[in-house]
Structure 1
Amino acid sequence: MGKVYMKLRVMPSDVEVDLEKVKEEVKKVAPENVEIKDFAIQPIAFGLKALLVLAVMPDEEGIGDKLVENIKSIEGVESVEIESQELI
């Protein structure tokens, strides 16, 4: 079974959300077999910034959805979008 590389865009609920705290929460809520490889902050508009999350996980059904749902449950997160996903 292979691995999947997934890039997620995490949008905060407003410009006041501390993305450093969100990063730490993402690490905590990631399922056991998901490895968070990197984070980046992407300016959007009017001071709003998105958190980009790069994760590697086994090619198992539902694991990506579980990661997305867990991140959506973090306080201050408005939405989570899968920007890209590929088999590695």
Structure 2
Amino acid sequence: MGKRARKEPWPGSCPRCGGRQEYSDPFDAALCPRCDEWREPACPDPQCSFCRNRPLRPSLARELHPDDPALRRAARLAARRSRRSR
């Protein structure tokens, strides 16, 4: 599949929480950092360079691409949620 020409911030809001959706360039996908969910499914192509290594949640992708600001935000918010639930 081809890469989209769109850069972050991804327009629109998350249908689940109403927060701002963002765009992860390395995974060519929209995500919600608040919900820690991808806002679009991975493609079915096993050879797709964007989707084949995409983790289940955006916060888990931060180690793969530490310079991606959307993934950093998702990881930071996930860590906050984890601390609050203790």
**TM-score, length-normalised on structure 1?**
0.31
Higher strand share: 1
Q: TM-score, normalised by structure 2?
A: 0.31
Higher RCO (C-alpha 8 Å, min separation 6):
1
